[in-house]
């Protein structure tokens, strides 16, 4: 690996506070005596009116050819756009790397022992044995993905299993709240605890690699798999991803960061026509790459390359993506795993950085190849032959296997790791006379953390005159309305891959799902609670969304009417109600809008509860005077009804915040799903151009001065809070630089500390999520505000708590494409602190400088 170099450019001396700092590599050292800040004339004060910065726009994105594979497809020579619109003075270049050909594992960042063990393991392997460990054996195995074995060494291979919400295709395992729900908690501790619980279950089933977390951004509100990820913001998604990785891997299970990269819609994502997602280099580094970099920093053992092309080249053979950025710039030590049948070549995929081909067969081949002897794979025997005839160096094959086995050793799977005890292809105990399902119960007490996350991720959007929390003992009659309130009459697992929308919605559909061990629906939870706590209260329910006659009869004289509605989506291989993965629209399903309006027309206390995969349009009914409260419950998993009940009755004070923006109009969003293309030729490659550049989600709304229905980060509480006392401190020391997973260590060193005080001024104890946004100097061409920190703390009524949020060097830097480096731009920075991207209570502007 070539050593990083560092450059210091001119500096505007304005500072008064110093930061002693040294940037260091093995061959180069530059000392920085001081990093300083100088407050601007704009003092810290309470404000919700914050001026913006003009958006970054890069019109130089290199778009792919619109037909067929070209030389770049075969060699992986596609690159990101190098143009950078606008000029700015570089303040401090904090990262520089030089890319080269396929980067072998280095053992950096604590991987030294694991890499050494892996190299020792493969030393005596034959070429075919090495190939067996890199090419999947399809369904010749008990997991959704399996490598071959090395029987003479008693190595049974590696088991890969979905999903990001629990162990898929098995029994006696939990179904956790969706990724978008855990992101909505804005709670780092809960994010990690969820990962820990999931890690225990994957380990208990004998799974080596858990295929998650998913960390593609919710770029398009209608995109089918948004619910699996961490929302629309790179920073929030990065925290969500890294905390989940840490939690899963703390139990010895290899986590998998997916889908790399720009796999952010289901239409045209892959076979038979893979679109090209086209993006400039700066946007990629600052946005879509961010959560992957944070996961690599957290030590993730595997990354999954996606089906789609990026700037014209298939992701799984894109040298710029896999080698230059992932393995070189980010010093990734684990292995690059293909999405299932995403490998489209032999030489280009292997030589440009793919390490493991799953499930092994060619796309569309129904056979089940043994990779050591079969030609039914781009790899398999063809890979072995290519190594034997010198087309592919054996050293490259060695590195592929070394990376796989290094992750295995790094997570301690060579010591007391349980064997696989289930079979993903059948629920039967025996198959062909052999025991395949041992029905091991791995759930433990995980229902508790599932219920906790469910309530902590329920967002209170509207609460007129303190409608909630509700005291059922004071109500004579309540009504429960909508199919989303009740159970699926055929059972929670009736539809394969959860590919239907019947009963209450607690998870989306596709490979990102799991089996429900049980599902507590809201109607049952409320009914049980009222019968036990308030037996004099009458409950009536209409679970038919379109029986308006029954609705009208039931809501008469009701003290409270709970209307449940939902919106579903999932992976593109399943179509539900004509929605091929991505949603066709942003409205509620099953006539939810009309059900709300019908109820509100007669019920003066209409409480709306939504279970949705993402944003929905609310304008048809939101401002109706009888809609007194709105709860946004997302996809809460198996404890759905119980977690909702905790919020309804006030056992839990809601503190969840939106991880995306809810618009008033679909057209207000900066981008949308590409549903159709005019050219129907099979050789035509659909082009998905990221023309919004850095202005994803709320950044676009801020830049274009569009008022959303609910902004990013929004969420109400049963209490109130006040903010005061903003302080900014420059930290005194920064460790010397070295290469580590995630990039140069100095990027992740704290440069600034932001402190402030939050007081609970209301009548209830509760958690507050304080959010920190950065405004860069106008010359940097950044969005008006970008999230760079948050903290959730519990505050008793009447008490105050001090918050402290660190800003790392990377957090106050931008990516400079021409120099391929992170830089801190010259000029003034503004720190904004508040309760959402638009509820800004404190801000301070200051200038940074090297002295």
CA 460 to the chain's CA centroid:
22
Count of the separate structural domains present in the chain: 3
Strands 209-210 and 145-146: unpaired
Q: Is residue 22 part of a domain?
A: no
> How far, in Å, are 44, 205, 537 from residue 420 at the CA level?
58, 6, 50
Q: What CATH code is carried by the domain that includes residue 728?
A: 2.60.40.10
Are 219 and 304 within one domain?
yes
Q: How high is the pLDDT of residue 164?
A: 97
The CB density around residue 557, as the number of other CB atoms within 10 Å, is 10
Q: Evaluate the CA torsion angle 659, 665, 668, 673 in order and state its sign.
A: positive
Are 206 and 342 within one domain?
yes
Are 532 and 391 within one domain?
no
Are 283 and 353 within one domain?
yes
Q: How high is the pLDDT of residue 59?
A: 27
The residue written with tokens 């509480």 in the block is: 717
Q: Is residue 92 part of a domain?
A: no
Q: How high is the pLDDT of residue 33?
A: 33
Q: Is residue 663 part of a domain?
A: no
The Cβ-side half-sphere exposure at 739, using a 13 Å CA radius, reads 26
Q: Is residue 346 part of a domain?
A: yes
Q: How high is the pLDDT of residue 362?
A: 61
Are 379 and 523 within one domain?
no
Cβ-contact 203, 245 below 8 angstroms = no
Q: Is residue 730 part of a domain?
A: yes
Q: How high is the pLDDT of residue 14?
A: 27
Cβ-contact 568, 576 below 8 angstroms = yes
Are 399 and 515 within one domain?
no
| Residue of 233, 281, 339, 582 marked catalytic | 339
Are 401 and 456 within one domain?
no
Per the confidence metrics, is the pTM higher than 0.85? yes
Are 398 and 452 within one domain?
no
Which of 398, 413, 428 marks a domain boundary? 413
> How far, in Å, are 98, 219, 394, 397 from residue 324 at the CA level?
8, 25, 21, 18
Which of 617, 636, 657 marks a domain boundary? 657
Q: How high is the pLDDT of residue 309?
A: 98
Q: How high is the pLDDT of residue 137?
A: 86
Q: Is residue 680 part of a domain?
A: no
> How far, in Å, are 65, 233, 243, 711, 754 from residue 773 at the CA level?
38, 12, 20, 14, 11
By three-state DSSP, how is residue 481 classified? strand
Are 368 and 511 within one domain?
no
Are 242 and 372 within one domain?
yes
Grouped pLDDT means (10 residues each) for the chain, 851 residues: 33 28 30 45 36 28 29 36 33 39 85 98 95 86 92 95 97 98 99 99 99 98 98 99 99 99 96 93 99 98 98 98 98 98 94 96 50 66 94 98 99 97 94 94 98 99 98 97 98 94 97 98 98 95 98 96 99 96 98 98 98 99 99 99 99 99 99 92 89 98 98 99 97 72 92 98 99 97 98 99 98 96 94 99 87 51
E strand or H helix at 192:
helix 188-204
Q: What CATH code is carried by the domain that includes residue 292?
A: 3.20.20.300
Nearest Cα neighbor of 513 from 342, 360, 635, 644 is: 635
Are 456 and 589 within one domain?
yes
Phi, psi for residue 701 in degrees, rounded to 5: -60, -40
Residues 19, 34: Cα–Cα separation, whole Å:
4
Q: Is residue 279 part of a domain?
A: yes
Tell me whether residue 339 is one of the annotated catalytic residues: yes
Strands 209-210 and 159-161: parallel
Cβ-contact 146, 370 below 8 angstroms = no
Domain of 794?
716-847
SS3 assignment for 450-468: HHHHHHHCCEEEEEHHHCC
The CB density around residue 85, as the number of other CB atoms within 10 Å, is 13
**Angle, in degrees to the nearest 10, between helices 290-297 and 234-249:** 30
Which of 640, 657, 674 marks a domain boundary? 657
Q: Is residue 695 part of a domain?
A: no
The Cβ-side half-sphere exposure at 555, using a 13 Å CA radius, reads 28
Residues 376, 362: Cα–Cα separation, whole Å:
6
Are 378 and 463 within one domain?
no
**Contact residues for 398 (Cβ-Cβ < 8 A; gap 6+):** 119, 122, 130
Q: How high is the pLDDT of residue 373?
A: 46
Q: What CATH code is carried by the domain that includes residue 468?
A: 3.40.50.1700
**Eight-class DSSP state of 810:** G
């Amino acid at each position: 690996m070539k050593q990083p170099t560092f450059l210091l450019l001119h500096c505007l001396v304005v500072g008064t506070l110093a930061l002693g700092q040294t940037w260091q590599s093995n061959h180069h050292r530059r000392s920085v005596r001081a990093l300083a800040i100088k407050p601007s004339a704009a003092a810290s004060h309470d404000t919700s009116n914050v001026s913006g910065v003009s958006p970054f726009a890069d019109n130089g994105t290199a778009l792919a050819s619109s037909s067929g594979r070209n030389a770049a497809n075969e060699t992986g020579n596609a690159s990101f756009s190098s143009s950078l619109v606008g000029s700015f003075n570089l303040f401090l270049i904090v990262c520089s790397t030089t890319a080269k050909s396929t980067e072998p594992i280095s053992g950096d960042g604590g991987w030294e022992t694991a890499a050494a063990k892996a190299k020792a393991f493969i030393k005596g392997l034959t070429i075919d044995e090495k190939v067996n460990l890199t090419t999947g054996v399809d369904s010749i195995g008990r997991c959704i993905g399996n490598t071959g074995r090395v029987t003479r060494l008693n190595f049974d291979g590696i088991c890969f299993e979905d999903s990001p919400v629990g162990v898929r295709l098995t029994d006696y395992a939990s179904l956790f709240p969706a990724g978008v729900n855990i992101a909505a908690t804005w709670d780092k501790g809960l994010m990690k605890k969820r990962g820990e619980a999931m890690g225990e279950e994957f380990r208990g089933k004998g799974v080596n690699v858990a295929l998650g977390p998913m960390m593609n951004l919710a770029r398009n509100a209608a995109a089918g798999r948004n619910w699996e990820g961490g929302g629309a913001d790179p920073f929030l998604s990065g925290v969500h991803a890294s905390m989940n990785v840490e939690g899963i891997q703390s139990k010895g299970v290899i986590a998998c960061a997916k889908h790399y990269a720009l796999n952010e819609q289901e239409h045209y994502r892959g076979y038979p026509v893979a679109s090209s997602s086209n993006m400039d280099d700066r946007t990629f580094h600052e946005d879509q790459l961010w959560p992957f970099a944070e996961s690599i920093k957290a030590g993730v053992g595997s990354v999954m390359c996606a089906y789609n092309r990026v700037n014209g080249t298939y992701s799984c053979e894109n040298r710029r993506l896999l080698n230059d950025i992932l393995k070189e710039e980010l010093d990734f030590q684990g292995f690059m795993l293909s999405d299932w049948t995403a490998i489209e070549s032999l030489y280009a995929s292997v030589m440009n950085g793919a390490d493991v081909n799953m499930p092994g067969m060619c796309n569309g081949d129904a056979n089940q190849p043994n990779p050591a002897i079969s030609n039914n794979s781009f790899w398999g025997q063809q890979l072995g032959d290519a190594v034997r005839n010198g087309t592919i160096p054996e050293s490259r094959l060695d590195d592929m296997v070394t990376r796989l086995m290094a992750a295995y050793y790094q997570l301690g799977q060579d010591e007391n790791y349980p064997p696989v005890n289930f079979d993903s292809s059948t629920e039967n105990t025996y198959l062909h006379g052999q025991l395949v399902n041992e029905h091991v119960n791995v759930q433990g007490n995980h229902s508790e953390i599932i219920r906790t996350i469910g309530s902590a991720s329920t967002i209170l959007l509207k609460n007129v005159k303190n409608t909630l929390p509700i005291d059922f003992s004071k109500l004579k009659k309540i009504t429960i309305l909508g199919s989303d309130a009740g159970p699926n009459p055929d059972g929670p697992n009736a539809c394969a891959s959860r590919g239907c929308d019947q009963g209450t919605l607690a998870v989306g559909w596709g490979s990102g799902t799991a089996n429900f061990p049980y599902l507590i629906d809201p109607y049952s939870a409320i009914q049980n609670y009222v019968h036990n706590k308030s037996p004099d209260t009458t409950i009536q329910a209409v679970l038919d969304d379109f029986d308006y006659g029954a609705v009208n009869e039931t809501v008469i004289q009701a003290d409270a009417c709970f209307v449940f509605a939902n919106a579903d989506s999932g992976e593109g291989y399943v179509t539900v109600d004509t929605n091929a993965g991505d949603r066709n629209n942003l409205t509620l399903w099953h006539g939810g809008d009309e059900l709300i309006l019908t109820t509100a027309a007669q019920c003066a206390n209409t409480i709306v509860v939504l279970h949705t995969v993402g944003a929905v349009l609310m304008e048809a009914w939101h401002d109706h005077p009888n809609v007194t409260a709105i709860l946004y419950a997302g996809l809460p998993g198996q404890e759905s009804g119980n977690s909702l009940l905790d919020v309804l009755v006030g056992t839990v004070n809601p503190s969840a915040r939106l991880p995306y923006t809810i618009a008033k109009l679909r057209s207000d969003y900066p981008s949308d799903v590409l549903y159709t293309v005019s050219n129907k030729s099979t050789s035509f490659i659909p082009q998905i151009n990221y023309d919004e550049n850095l202005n994803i989600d709320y950044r676009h709304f801020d830049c274009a001065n569009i008022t959303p229905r609910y902004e990013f980060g929004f969420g109400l509480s049963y209490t109130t809070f006040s903010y005061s006392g903003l302080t900014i401190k420059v930290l005194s020391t920064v460790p010397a630089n070295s290469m580590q997973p995630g990039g140069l260590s100095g990027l992740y060193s704290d440069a600034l500390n932001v402190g402030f005080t939050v007081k609970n001024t209301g009548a209830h104890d509760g958690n507050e999520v304080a959010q920190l946004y950065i405004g860069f100097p106008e010359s940097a061409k950044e969005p008006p505000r970008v999230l760079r920190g948050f903290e959730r703390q519990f505050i008793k009524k009447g008490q105050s708590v001090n918050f402290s949020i660190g800003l790392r060097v990377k957090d106050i830097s931008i990516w400079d494409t021409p120099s391929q480096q992170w830089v801190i731009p010259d000029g003034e920075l503004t720190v904004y602190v508040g309760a959402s991207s638009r509820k800004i209570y404190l801000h301070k502007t200051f200038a940074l400088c090297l002295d």
